[in-house]
Structure 1
Amino acid sequence: MTAPIPFFDGHNDFLLRLLKTPASREETWLGTAGRGHLDLARMKAAGFAGGLFAIFVPPASDGPPPDFKALMADPPYALPMPPEMAHPQAQPDALAMAGLLHWMERAAPDDFRVCRTVAEIRAAMAQGVIAGVMHMEGAEAIGPDLDALYLFHDMGLRSLGPVWSRPTIFGHGVPMAFPGSPDTGLGLTGSGLDLVRLCDELGIVIDLSHLNEKGFDDVAGVSSAPLVATHSNAHALCDSPRNLTDRQLHMIRERGGMVGFNFATFYLNVDGTADTGTGWDVMLRHLDYLIAQVGEDHVGLGSDFDGCVLPDLIGDVTGVQRLFDAMAAHGYDAQLIAKLARENWLACLDRCMN
């Protein structure tokens, strides 16, 4: 049997599933029931060599949480933005998820390692150990004085999105809407500009994936680092505000940045639907377009595993090798597939992380 192509993934929401699932964390991480998109056994079998693991605090709710997948399944839609969440409200779940990432290492020390540098990522991958990098999707857990950023950085935080799709004290996210433009309002606040500067100082990647267009431009104007969108697709092919315009893609190319190709059907299909019958042709059209706009050295994977509706052809983490087979059949050679699978991410993180 041919060994799987090792890959690095720019975004997943496994930590939230680990926090919220009614099953035990041991069963969710170490079990073989095959629930969700990720667990240790499937990741090892699928060639998942490393990735950014998101800390994401979901919207507060008095009742059951909103089912965004169902609400977004039948475009057009324009969901109300969840309200701003204060950092004392967000910090407990954020700290719990940071702790869970470290617990994952303690529970499987021979198979999983929390990494803080690209040298550590490469060393883990060379030893067949999955490299986990802490990411934060929405910076609500960081207060206005920014002191908590130092603590999360010490815990391993190396990538941060200032916003999810709700306002924060740092800026404004794009709405959950289709169709729509990312040009939806105000950019970063003064605190947001300070957050970007401190992230640059600490070597923390700023993730642009959920920022609106003015916020994107503000990051580009303040940060000296490469511009990175961990899990976004091409707005020209799917008119979602979560996707990137040609102008944004060209800015990412010019700054030596990175786009993580998102597997979410909402951001792939031209009509914005959650159609799980999405074919390889749709996925490869986005990849072709991203490569044409950004360059083959600046595109990788940003699956959104455990946070989205996937095409049935992918299904879960074990479907990534089928995507690589489809890339090869489409004409991508082995060198390009290796770049898209892992090398571009590692090179970009090397340019970003201290």
Structure 2
Amino acid sequence: MINHSSPPVFDGHNDLLFRLHHQQIAIEDVVSGLASGHLDLPRAKAAGFAGGFFALWVPSTRTGSAAEDSDDALMADIRYNVPLPGMVTWEEAIRVVVEEVAIFRKLAGCGVLTPCTSVAEIEAAMTGETLAAVLHMEGAEAIDPEFAALEVLYAAGLRSLGPVWSRPTIFGHGVPFRFPSTGDIGPGLTDLGKALVRECNRLKIMLDVSHLNEKGFDDVAAVTDAPIVATHSNAHALSSHARNLTDRQLAVIAESDGMVGLNFATAFLRADGRMAPNMSIAVMIRHLDHLISVLGEDRVGLGSDFDGAIVADGIADVTGLIALRQAMRDHGFGEPLIAKLCNGNWMRVLRRTWGE
């Protein structure tokens, strides 16, 4: 008999920390269960969500709150070009990031998650009652030019970093939310951005190319000595959104022995690019098929973007992972492949990156 909450999912990306920070949600409510949002401990455990990368993210100043709220509304249209917000200052960013790290530590103290900095720790935590959690930074605005903050955040558990979100930083340029479009928009990494790549390589911090424009992606590929990873991105061949990866980029990731986590955000899945929830889970399966066809079955996983995106009605929240696993089975994916997609491939690439 199939256990529909198995195999356990280790997820490439969620925005729970920012949601708790922005909405001032009590930590205790994550333990008992939330009435809204995508993630809390009871729903995660029921769905077999065993852990993942928990993102540190700083909102843009153009709205004074979460810029992605207005971005989602603009992406409901059939064609759109959401302008890049301006830079966030280091002073703004470091304050928010420190507060989000504090939330991360409080979640650990309340028994929601276990901070992990090795694959052995992840695998041990995934068998327990808490969520295995790796601290990730989505956009490096809180990193100073001397990398002092990087050292401090590394000591606090940071093990994964994306140099940009979809806006410019001192390290490079993010790709705008534009449909239809390629990611070939704007310049690549700055010299400081290339130095950040080398510093992450030295510390064995995983580098995430999600949100980078095409030139920035190519610069990472030229500089890094680690596997190239896109924690939450999809196939441009099926959805011609600027945020998605072309087959050429997927081939570069495969050559580096990296991987891609499937993003559940509907705008990056749908052929019409709309951020709208009326979408079949079958569309997600088609993206998995395409990613596997280019990358191979050892280099594809899940990167939900829970609490940071609009997802399909059939997913709705973390409990939709049960339906997604069943859709994989109905499509003909065997149990060994499903296990790789749900967690095994993340463990493989983290071993390669972290040197275990």
**Which TM-score tier does this pair reach, normalised by the shorter chain?**
over 0.9
Shift of 1:90: 0.6
Q: Secondary structure at the match of 2:271?
A: coil
Partner amino acid, structure 2, of 1:219: V
Matches within 5 A, 1:243-254: 243-254=244-255
Residue 110 of structure 2 corresponds to which residue in structure 1? 107
Matches within 5 A, 1:44-123: 44-61=45-62, 65-66=66-67, 67-108=70-111, 111-123=112-124
1:10 and 2:15 matched: no
Distance 2:343 2:63 in 1: 41
Count of residue pairs the alignment pairs up: 351
Residue pair 2:56, 2:97 contacting (<8 A) in 1 also:
yes
Shift of 1:102: 1.1
Distance 2:66 2:276 in 1: 23
More displaced 10-residue stretch of structure 1: 177-186 or 165-174: 177-186
Distance 1:102 1:22 in 2: 16
1:222 and 2:223 matched: yes
Structure 1, unpaired ranges of 5+: none
1:325 and 2:334 matched: no
Between the aligned residues of both structures, percent identity stands at: 52
Q: Secondary structure at the match of 1:182?
A: coil
Residue pair 2:281, 2:312 contacting (<8 A) in 1 also:
no
Structure 2, unpaired ranges of 5+: none
**Structure 1 residues 126 and 33: alpha-carbon distance in aligned structure 2, compared to 1, 3 A threshold:** closer
Distance 2:242 2:63 in 1: 28
Residue 345 of structure 1 corresponds to which residue in structure 2? 346
Shift of 1:276: 1.2
1:202 and 2:203 matched: yes
Partner amino acid, structure 2, of 1:165: S
More displaced 10-residue stretch of structure 1: 124-133 or 308-317: 124-133
Distance 2:31 2:62 in 1: 30
Residue 236 of structure 2 corresponds to which residue in structure 1? 235
More displaced 10-residue stretch of structure 1: 69-78 or 152-161: 69-78
CA-to-partner distance for each residue in 1:213-249, whole Å, 9 max, x for gaps? 1111111111100010000000010010110000000
Distance 1:62 1:151 in 2: 29
Q: Secondary structure at the match of 1:136?
A: strand
The 4+ residue runs of structure 1 with deviation greater than 6 A are none
TM-score (norm 1): 0.96
Residue pair 2:187, 2:216 contacting (<8 A) in 1 also:
yes
1:154 and 2:159 matched: no
Q: Secondary structure at the match of 1:224?
A: coil
Matches within 5 A, 1:138-287: 138-287=139-288
Distance 2:48 2:119 in 1: 18
Distance 1:301 1:289 in 2: 14
Residue pair 2:281, 2:315 contacting (<8 A) in 1 also:
no
CA-to-partner distance for each residue in 1:275-301, whole Å, 9 max, x for gaps? 312112211111100000100000000
**Structure 1 residues 273 and 257: alpha-carbon distance in aligned structure 2, compared to 1, 3 A threshold:** same
**Structure 1 residues 124 and 23: alpha-carbon distance in aligned structure 2, compared to 1, 3 A threshold:** closer
Residue pair 2:27, 2:107 contacting (<8 A) in 1 also:
no
Distance 1:106 1:190 in 2: 39
CA-to-partner distance for each residue in 1:33-65, whole Å, 9 max, x for gaps? 331000111111111111000000010146555
Q: Secondary structure at the match of 1:74?
A: coil
TM-score (norm 2): 0.96
CA-to-partner distance for each residue in 1:143-165, whole Å, 9 max, x for gaps? 11111100000111010000001
Residue pair 2:12, 2:53 contacting (<8 A) in 1 also:
yes
Distance 2:245 2:63 in 1: 34
**Structure 1 residues 147 and 311: alpha-carbon distance in aligned structure 2, compared to 1, 3 A threshold:** same
1:26 and 2:43 matched: no
1:303 and 2:308 matched: no
Shift of 1:25: 3.0
More displaced 10-residue stretch of structure 1: 220-229 or 18-27: 18-27
**Structure 1 residues 273 and 3: alpha-carbon distance in aligned structure 2, compared to 1, 3 A threshold:** closer
Shift of 1:212: 0.6
Distance 1:64 1:350 in 2: 37
Distance 1:328 1:160 in 2: 33
Residue pair 2:125, 2:131 contacting (<8 A) in 1 also:
yes
